[in-house]
Amino acid sequence: MSKELVDKGLMLPVMEHFYTIQGEGGNSGCAAYFIRLGGCDVGCVWCDVKESWEAENHPLVNITDMLKWVTEAKAKSVVITGGEPAMYDLHPLTEMLQQNGIETWIETSGAHEISGKWDWVCLSPKKFKACLNSSYPKAHELKVVIANKHDFKWAESHAERVSDNCELYLQPEWSREAKLLPLIIEYVKANPKWRISLQTHKYMQIP
């Protein structure tokens, strides 16, 4: 029965949830309720939430309980992240949230078909599993993590595939930020269509 409810998007594995400040990308600095789903088959080597990868390690939660978390916090925006949240059918959850006046944001690698109704799609492609062609036109924001100097060319290959209205961000991989940030600064100065995204929540020491 639980598998059937997961397949329908009525229950989802939740690793953690909390009300905080979005620290990255286009909505940086905005209050948002984060729901981190368990399960990921992308497997980024520098992932800082590897404990999210195994879905079976996390409890299944009814989406009505998720709505209760958000409304009790009086949050106006929800970020669905992971893991890889697009592994699941997110139509029921996002429709319910929007019906209650709550904005829906997703952070995804685009390696799975993006389901649901979204006010903001942050597309962050990874080298470890290819982004689907169908994911690019849905992106409001393209956020590429720069882990080495060769990643700029790789970032440009994705920028060519999103819409003209999509915001473009380069973000240093956290463990190498001191080395990579100067390179990113110079790259953005030379290519001003890009912006810099920093993990400001880590500076603020908040989740």
Q: What is the pLDDT of residues 15-26, one digit of tens each?
A: 999 999 999 999
How many structural domains does the chain have?
1
Q: What is the pLDDT of residues 25-49, one digit of tens each?
A: 999 999 999 999 999 998 877 787 8
Distance CA 45, CA 107 (A): 18
Q: How confident is the model at residue 11 (pLDDT cuts 50, 70, 90)?
A: very high
- What does pTM read for this prediction? 0.95
- Name the residue range of residue 61's domain: 2-204
What is the CATH number for 196? 3.20.20.70
Is residue 202 exposed (0-12), middle (13-18) or buried (19+ Cβ within 10 Å)? Answer: middle
pLDDT-based confidence at residue 157 (cuts at 50, 70, 90): very high
**In contact, 159 and 168? CB cutoff 8 Å:** yes
Integer angstrom CA distances of residue 79 from 15, 49, 159, 188, 192: 14, 16, 23, 27, 27
- The answer to whether residues 124 and 108 touch, using CB atoms and an 8 Å cutoff, is yes
